[in-house]
């Protein structure tokens, strides 16, 4: 099966898919090595890792699709790519969807924020009107129907400005237009999460951010509510940043403790074992 077909089967399994977030090829490879069947390419993480900048609309389509290509090439599992607002009008959205498909993403997320977009749990975000929001998803679905081998994840951030009713109405319409999955960003309570799951059909995604606006629930609770995917955009990124900060602080003091892993394990993590196998095969 293609990566898109694998993802579709996961969504139709009836089980919650715990989905760590990646930001580059190495973080994606580590997710796959840990045994997860699926990853999400986080725009927050890519902006932080590639630019050293916040997720506030500073990163471009070209940079994101290049990162998507590197991630997809480094793994065999399906990856959902953050396509932000689609980077322009309807034709830009179609180009984004086709570009992510060609890069090897199994799914692309398109949202209804007003550009420049930002992390959905930070202040200052705004959404476009309904017509603009629906146009973006219609263009994304058209790109898929024209042959792009990719699923469409439609996201709305309307909860923050216009309330949950508007967010649910947008998500319903996204499904009617043809989105494969929906995502209502930043519901504030468990009751709001339940309403979304009860009132919108099809696969739904929950975004679990440590310290975010949405209640941080355990996977069993999310599955009971009716979510198909739960993503964790900060968990791995926080761990990486904290470990690096601590190691650098110790180095600054002239302290060099025992390494966190062996050199052999490091080589395996980055793929030297498979490289050596291939090298040996072609040696003779």
User: Tokens 């519901």 — which residue?
Assistant: 187
For residue 56, what pLDDT is reported?
Answer: 87
What per-residue confidence (pLDDT) applies to 36? 98
pLDDT of residue 21: 98
Percent of the chain, pLDDT > 90? 89
Q: How confident is the model over 205-213, as a mean pLDDT?
A: 94
Which helix H or strand E contains 194, and what residues bound it? Answer: helix 190-199
Alpha carbons 112 and 94: distance in angstroms, whole number: 15
Residue 122, pLDDT score:
66
pLDDT in tens, 112-136: 999 877 776 767 789 999 999 999 9
Contacts for 131 with CB less than 8 Å, ≥ 6 apart:
none
Average predicted confidence (pLDDT) for the chain: 95
CA gap 111, 270 in Å, rounded: 33
Task: Give the chain's domains with CATH numbers.
Answer: 3-235 (3.20.20.60), 244-283 (no CATH)
pLDDT, position 258: 87
State the pLDDT at residue 120. Answer: 63
Q: In angstroms, rounded to a whole number, what is the distance separating the alpha carbons of residues 40 and 236?
A: 12
DSSP, residue by residue, 23-41: SSHHHHHHHHHTT-S-EEE
For the stretch 11-61, pLDDT in tens is 999 999 999 999 999 999 999 999 999 999 999 999 999 999 998 889 999
The pTM is what?
A: 0.94
**Dmax of the chain from CA atoms?**
66
pLDDT at 190 over 90: yes
Residues 253-260, mean pLDDT to the nearest whole number: 91
Please check the confidence at residue 62 and state whether its pLDDT lies above 80.
yes
Q: How many helices (H) and strands (E) does the chain have?
A: 13, 8
165: which residues sit within 8 A by CB, 6+ positions away? Answer: none
């Amino acid at each position: 099966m293609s990566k898109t077909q694998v993802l579709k089967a996961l969504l139709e399994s009836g089980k919650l898919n715990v989905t760590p977030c990646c930001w580059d090829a190495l973080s994606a490879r580590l997710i796959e090595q840990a045994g997860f069947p699926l990853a999400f390419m986080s725009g927050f993480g890519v902006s932080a890792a590639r630019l050293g900048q916040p997720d506030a609309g500073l990163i471009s389509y070209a940079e994101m699709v290049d990162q998507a290509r590197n991630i997809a090439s480094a793994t065999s599992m399906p990856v959902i790519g953050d396509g932000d607002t689609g980077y322009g009008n309807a034709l830009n959205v179609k180009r984004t969807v086709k570009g992510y498909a060609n890069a090897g993403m199994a799914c692309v997320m398109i949202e209804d924020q007003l550009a420049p977009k930002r992390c959905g749990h930070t202040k200052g975000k705004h959404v476009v009107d309904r017509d603009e929001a629906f146009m973006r998803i219609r263009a994304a679905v058209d790109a898929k129907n024209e042959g792009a081998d990719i699923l469409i994840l439609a996201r709305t951030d309307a909860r923050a400005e216009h309330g949950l009713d508007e967010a649910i109405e947008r998500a319903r319409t996204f499904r009617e237009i043809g989105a494969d999955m929906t995502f209502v960003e930043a519901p504030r309570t468990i009751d709001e999460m339940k309403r979304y799951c009860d009132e919108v059909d099809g696969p739904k995604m929950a975004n679990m951010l440590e310290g975010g606006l949405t209640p941080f629930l355990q996977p069993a609770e999310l599955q009971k509510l009716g979510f198909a995917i739960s993503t964790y955009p900060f968990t791995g990124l926080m761990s990486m940043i904290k470990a690096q900060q601590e190691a650098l602080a110790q180095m600054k003091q002239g302290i060099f403790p025992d390494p966190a892993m062996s050199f052999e394990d490091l080589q395996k993590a980055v793929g030297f074992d498979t490289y050596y196998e291939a090298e040996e095969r072609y040696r003779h």
